Every structure is written in structure tokens, then in C-alpha cells.
Amino acid sequence: MSFPSLTYDPATDRPQEECGVFGVRRVADASVLAAFGLHALQHRGQEACGITSYDREKGRFTTERHLGLVGEHFTEPKRLERLTGDMAIGHVRYSTSGGSSMRNVQPLYADVRGGGIALAHNGNLTNARMLREELVAGGAIFQSTSDSEVILQLAARSKQPDSIERLISAFTQIEGAFALVAMTNDLLIGARDPLGIRPLVMGVLDGATIFASETCALDMIGARYIRDIEPGEVVIVSDEGLETRRYAPARPAKTCAFEYIYFARPDSVIDGISVYEARKRMGIRLAQECPADIDVVVPVPDSGMAAALGFSEELGKPFDLGIIRAHFAGRTFIQPTQAKRDLGVRRKHSANASVLRGKRVLLVDDSIVRGTTSKKIVRMVREAGATEVHFRSACPPITHPDFYGIDMPMREELMAASHEPDKMIEMLECDSLGFLSVEGLYWAVHGEARNPESPQLADHYFTGDYPTRLVDQNRAASSKDEQLSLLVDA
């Protein structure tokens, strides 16, 4: 959703999901429901949030976009009272440590002939830079550096007579990953990229149609799940009901594997598969593939919980909470100058010595990216009295970066991309290390083998097998390095 990623968060050593979207049409309190829905999707982006509503009596779009959490901004009655109307779309955006800018906060908006288009987008386009250059050459003025604006500019330029056709025209030109909701001064639409890399579901509440990145947003507001939007599909909601359009051929979704591994909320169901169950099965399979002679299975909370439960169950060894996670937000603390230990990790995790002392501990986490946090956790667990510390990753070794909206470090920083197994054990200072196999991942998610012709998941992180062309990536280096905008906003 934003160009070259500067936003991988080294404090957690986790790739960062980039955005969640929500839309609802023809219901009282549309913006209040959007606020609840976005709150349920907050894990998909904590940097910024926004809601745009449309009031058909006034013929007005109203927007509120803010840096920070949904619960900080959309709990204020006066904000929601501004957002009148029975149609609304919303967006949450990922968290960055560095400087982010208001101009990239969504929903985006354009006045076009005969109306307006508001748009919220999750995902990353692989030809956005090329399209942007063409649009600028044609006189377009970009306000943001987000590739989502490319979609809006294409729609504005389209010669199609109505807003929906303008958007569909844009969909046929963009490549990459996108789940998006858009709203005109009449209609609500939901659309998913041709491969279905990013998730998008449809539900219903009191007759009103809802689109959301995950089912947990439907559950939050008591809506009923209808189905996932299909790859290459656009669903148009009007007073006449639902109309479905295809701008790309029908095919099964090739959902991003990391949605199952880490991003999605465990209580969500993506393309018919429970995220929680998939994670638990990852742990079960991991126990089969990499068992160990240990006393206790300890999850790295919260992301390793489900896999650790599966692991413990399969191995027949007790599951216990040897690491406590702090639940209070906060920026990075200043380090004391003379402290002998790095206190950073303890800000989020602390060792529960009563569980660890004198034990052979097996830690289960969902993944290992750079390994920096894993190393600190291993050390903390050992200092708390564990006699052995074994580490297990509930996903395969990550060796390749992503270009579809997941923020990862450069390839050379990915631990598994540049180190042999023995070296990794040494780096993490653990007694043994194990990763789920790629086949194990498919077994856990789909219960079937990987189809090498057309893998059922976007699994390039582990295989280098990218599901689409990488247009911008493959262009001349000079073009790639160019800044998207010469302007640095406040």
C-alpha cells in the first residue's frame, strides 16, 4: 500500500501487515459500525485510521483521518456524529517507527465528473511506480506516495461514463495484491486482486452488505459471514442488491501464507479455513518434524500460542506460560547508559521464572525473521533458570522478501536467507532449532500437498516463487531508486 518499505519493525522482528479495510452500505450508524469493524482489524495496522461516510440526503462525503488507533479517535462522539450517512468505508494502516505522513492516510478521495469516489486499499501493486510515472507525465498531481492513489488516478482518468466502470478500468491496469472497498455517491464495491493474495470477505447485518478484510470484523458487529470475495471479482452493492463482475478469470485464491502464519486474527476464517486451526496444525506438524526431549512447551506470546498448544498436544509434553507479555503500549524506552543488559525486550516480554527454572524449555514462535528478538528471548529464558532452551519456528525458513504489502527487512537481513542451520543455532544461542517444512505448511493450511504448477498459497517467502510479475522490481535500477516525490511533508 506504500512504496519501498521503510517500516519493518526491528523491535518485534516481525513483518508488518499493511492495512485492513471495511465497508458497509445502507444501515443506520454506518460510521459507528465502521469504527467497530476497524477496531477488530486493528492488528492489521496501528499507524493510522480513517473513515469516510456518504450522506445521500446531503449529497456529501465526510472524512476523518487520523494518526493513531481506532480506539483513540473513533470513540469520540463528535467525530462519529460528523460522519453522517448510511454508507461508510474505513481503513487501518500499519505502524511504523519512523516518520509517516498524514497525506498517506486513507480512505483516499476524488471528485470526478458527476460524483465522488472514496477508496480504501490493502495490498501492494507491483507496477505502481511505472503507472505513476506515466500518470505524472500525463499531468496527474499525486498527493500521496501510496500506490493506492495510482488506482484512484487511473479511475479519474478513465473515459468511462460512470464511477464503477472507471474503477474496473483501473483494476485491469494494476498488478499485484489488492483487497479494496470503494464507495461512490450511490454504490459500495468490494474487489480482490486476480490471485486473491489479500483476503476480503462479505457479510450481512440487518440486510446491509458489509465488506471486511477478515471475518473477525463481521463477528465484532454481529454480522453474518456470506462468503469470501473471489480472485478477480468485483461485488457491486446498490439499492437493487448485489451484482458481481469479473475483470479477471475465475480461479482459486492463492492467499498469502503469512495471513495464516501471523497476520490474521486467530478467530478469523480465510477462504474457508480457520486461522486458529491452521496454526495449531502447524504446531502439530512441527512437533512431528522437529521433536525434542524437553520438559515444557512455552509459547512466545501471543503469536506462538496456537502452534505451541498443537506442539504440546502432539508431543505429549505440558504447555505452560513461561513468558509473560506486557499489554501496555508505549514507544521505545531510553536505555540506561550503565545497565549491563539490554532492557528493550523486557518491555514487551518477561520471563516467568516459576515455570522455567530447572526445566528443559522448548519455545514455539510463529516465525523467525532476523532472529534478533528470538535471541534476546532465548537469553532471557536461560537467565530465568532454564537448563536447556530449544527454539521452534511454526513456519518454514524465510528466505525471500515480499512485494505484495508485507513489510520485511532486506533479504540480506533475513536470518534464514544467509545462514546455515548450525550458524543459526549459534546466533540464537539455543540448544536446538527447528522450522516447519514447506510441505508441513501446506498440510497444516490446506491438508494437501503443494501444487508446484500453481501453489495454493503465495509462498514466495520460503520458495522464491512469486505469484505475479514484478514489473517495478525488474525495471532499470535508476528508475527504481528515484524518489516518488520530491516533497517531504510534515
Question: Could you say which residues in the range 168-197 bind a second copy, by CB under 8 A?
Answer: 185
Could you give the CA distance from residue 417 to residue 424 in angstroms, rounded to a whole number? 11
Q: How far is the CB of 291 from a second copy (least distance, A)?
A: 20
Could you give the CA distance from residue 131 to residue 129 in angstroms, rounded to a whole number? 5
State the DSSP H helix or E strand holding residue 217, giving kind and residue range, or none if neither: helix 215-221
Cβ proximity of 427 and 378 under 8 Å: no
Which residue, 15 or 231, has its beta carbon nearer to a second copy? 15
Angle, CA 6 vertex, CA 470 and CA 475 arms, to 5°: 25
Residues 362-401 that bind a second copy (CB under 8 A): none
Q: Is residue 220 at the binding interface for a second copy, with CB under 8 A as the rule? A: yes
Residues 271-310 that bind a second copy (CB under 8 A): 274, 276-277, 302, 305-306, 309
Window 54-83: contact mask with a second copy (x via CB under 8 A)? -----xxxxxxx---xxxx-xx-x--x-x-
Q: How far is the CB of 56 from a second copy (least distance, A)?
A: 11
Q: Out of 316, 340, 358, 452, which residue is the one contacting a second copy (CB under 8 A)?
A: 340
Cell numbers standing for residue 20: 485492513
Could you give the CA distance from residue 284 to residue 76 in angstroms, rounded to a whole number? 44
Which residue, 249 or 358, has its beta carbon nearer to a second copy? 358
Residues 99-138 that bind a second copy (CB under 8 A): 109-113, 115-116, 136-137
Q: Is residue 33 at the binding interface for a second copy, with CB under 8 A as the rule? A: yes
Chain position carrying cell 458489509: 210
Q: Out of 67, 130, 226, 353, which residue is the one contacting a second copy (CB under 8 A)?
A: 353
Cβ proximity of 24 and 208 under 8 Å: yes
Q: How far is the CB of 129 from a second copy (least distance, A)?
A: 13
Q: How far is the CB of 485 from a second copy (least distance, A)?
A: 5
Closest CA to 228 of 262, 197, 205, 261: 197
State the DSSP H helix or E strand holding residue 242, giving kind and residue range, or none if neither: strand 241-246
Q: How far is the CB of 146 from a second copy (least distance, A)?
A: 13
Pairing label, strands 233-238, 241-246: antiparallel
| Residues linked to residue 378 through DSSP beta bridges, in sequence order | none
**Which residues are catalytically annotated?**
19
What are the start-end ranges of the E strands in 385-481?
A: 388-393, 432-435, 457-458
- The residue range among 353-361, 362-370, 425-433, 446-454 that interacts with a second copy, by the rule CB under 8 A, is 353-361
Window 235-264: contact mask with a second copy (x via CB under 8 A)? ------------------------------
One DSSP character per residue, 61-96 reads EEEEEEES-HHHHTT-HHHHHHS-SSEEEEEEE---
Residues 9-28 that bind a second copy (CB under 8 A): 27-28
Could you give the CA distance from residue 206 to residue 251 in angstroms, rounded to a whole number? 31
Q: Is residue 354 at the binding interface for a second copy, with CB under 8 A as the rule? A: yes
Q: How far is the CB of 303 from a second copy (least distance, A)?
A: 11
Cell numbers standing for residue 118: 472514496
